[in-house]
Structure 1
Amino acid sequence: MPVISTERLTKRYPRVTALDALTIDIGDGVTGLVGANGAGKSTLLKILLGLTEATSGTATVLGHDIVSDGLALRSRVGYMPEHDCLPGDMSATELVVHLARMSGLPTSAARERAADTLRHVGLYEERYRPIGGYSTGMKQRVKLAQALVHDPDVVFLDEPTNGLDPAGRDEMLSLVRRIHTDFGISVLVTSHLLGELERICDGVVIIDGGTLLRSSTVADFTRSSDRLALEVLADPDDALVALADAGLEVVRDGLLLLVALEDDETYDKVRDVVADQELGLVRLAPRRHHIAEVFDEEATRVIS
């Protein structure tokens, strides 16, 4: 049974359609919901949580109908909103304990769960400070902690890396991945940064203008292409000339050289050029597609 399932789910506002007959099935693991700002990602999460009513269509989460069984559904779901919604005068411990108690945990259990969850997200030492004095990264961790404290079966994370610097994004992405690997909780995470989701997700759903462009596993998205990725110690431009002189079709992509893979002999030709010219081989492997490239291809196909 899918963790999340929608059937022709539609949400219309007076002048815009946020979701347009969206039909998807999302299984266990970490799934990325990808789309540009305004693509309908946040709208979908709010409909699945019962915070916004769909115009038409149906959806289930963990087998619960979002309309008729919303209370049971929400008791099994954690939600990390995109916007800053934290009370600045409360400490992280006070807030997370309060929300744990609201989920039905007794006071002692709520305190224990809050301490464990704040330790997991890296806020244990700072847990008694007022949230108003927290950095953006610390506030994001508080929002993640409150989504996890009641031990849900699935969590919805809306743009969890928003406002974070590169180091903060890496740390948050690691935490998101561990939600499933360490605790077995399914994750639906939204982002407009495709490279982030490629690193941590098992599957990706791409939507644009509220319409499904593609839903697939990351492995399928990033399948091998018909080019070899070559990295050498020598100047890439010198290597490009040497490979071209050997009759190989090659283009430069940053520090990489992308060589057209005609057949198995291409490997031998590249090896010989690298050895004869003493270019210094660092890496030679089939190049894999990036999700961003697939997204661009799908968007172009739909437009045309």
Structure 2
Amino acid sequence: MTALESLSFTVEPGVTGLVGANGAGKSTLIKILLGLLPPSGGQAQVLGLDIAAQGSQIRERVGFMPEYDTLPPDVSATEFVVHMARMSGLPATAARERAADVLRHVGLYEERYRPIGGYSTGMKQKVKLAQALVHDPQLVFLDEPTNGLDPNGRDEMLGLIRRIGAEFGISVLVTSHLLGELERVCDHVVIIDGGKLLRSQAVEAFTQTSGQLLVEVEDRSDDLGRLLFDRGVAVRPEGRFLMIDIADEKTYDQIRDGVVELGLALIRMEQARHHIEEVFQQ
């Protein structure tokens, strides 16, 4: 089976999203970059280090949060994160200090002495994130970090990822098959499918403004839509919003006049933006 084929791209500092459906080759790529899986061909460098000859040096400088639950159930978060810090070369005292710091950052400080086996899925994900950060790496690989989390847990994890990139100054390569999540936290997105590169681009380029207006009124949006349609405006309902094609500057005036004429309360009128998911589907 060919997992990756002619895949070539560069990851810059910041938060980069690696997007693809399940089986697209995301986890395989991370294992190759960590020097854990030898490629059958090609070359790669991580932080300027060759994956074939300098895997151990790469793993000293890189943190890894695996997708699957690989945590020992019978030890506490503190014991486990300290152990991982020692494995990365930190002295005992420094390892304990760093473990306490990262567990505080991920929101597990109060629960740090409990056995991991009694943790919720969200707490286990935070332990995996903490051990990836404990040795103060230059780069972290986060493989499906929101896997198995409820909406609140997802939001919390995405907030932590933003902080890693913005406040800690650590570059991040994060994988996901949920495009909307990566749109919220990433500076750059790499899309792969069947092991091949589809696109590598800044998020801003994906989410550039479209030629449509998103209009929201307090109520009677159907009436506004019919009125604008009768006056030659291209409009379509989308939930509680109206999506209106911008023909020219007069479109704004027609919307304003229609809202006034019907006595409606205008909540929002803004230029709509593309989503990464639209580009991926195309």
Shorter-chain TM-score: what band?
Answer: over 0.9
What is the SS of the residue equivalent to 1:167?
A: helix
| Cα shift at 1:246 | 2.2
What is the SS of the residue equivalent to 2:97?
A: helix
Structure 1-normalised TM-score? 0.91
Query: C-alpha distance in 2, partners of 1:234/1:104?
Result: 62
Contact 1:201 1:218 in 2 (8 A): yes
Contact 1:97 1:111 in 2 (8 A): yes
Q: Which has the higher contact order (CA 8 A, sep 6+)?
A: 2
Given the alignment of the two structures, is residue 24 of structure 1 paired with residue 9 of structure 2, yes or no?
Answer: yes
Name 1:284's counterpart in structure 2.
269
Name 1:110's counterpart in structure 2.
95
What is the SS of the residue equivalent to 2:10?
A: strand
Structure 1: which amino acid aligns with 2:261? D
Q: 1:271-293 CA deviation, whole Å, 9 max, x = no partner?
A: 11112112211111111001100
Name 2:71's counterpart in structure 1.
86
Structure 1: which amino acid aligns with 2:37? T
- The 5-angstrom pairing of residues 1-304 of structure 1 reads 16-297=1-282
Query: C-alpha distance in 1, partners of 2:249/2:45?
Result: 48
Query: C-alpha distance in 1, partners of 2:155/2:91?
Result: 34
Unaligned runs of 5+ in 2: none
| Cα shift at 1:37 | 0.3
| Cα shift at 1:266 | 1.2
Query: C-alpha distance in 1, partners of 2:200/2:256?
Result: 38
| Cα shift at 1:239 | 2.1
Q: Cα RMSD (Å) of the superposition? A: 0.8
Structure 2-normalised TM-score? 0.98
Structure 2: which amino acid aligns with 1:17? T
Sequence identity of aligned pairs in percent?
66
Tell me which stretches of 4 or more aligned residues in structure 1 moved more than 6 Å: none
| Cα shift at 1:126 | 0.2
How many corresponding residue pairs? 282
Decide which structure has greater strand share: 1
| Cα shift at 1:39 | 0.6
Query: C-alpha distance in 1, partners of 2:56/2:170?
Result: 19
Unaligned runs of 5+ in 1: 1-15, 298-304
Structure 1: which amino acid aligns with 2:38? E
Once the two structures are overlaid, the 10-residue window that deviates more, 244-253 or 84-93, is: 244-253
Contact 1:18 1:210 in 2 (8 A): yes
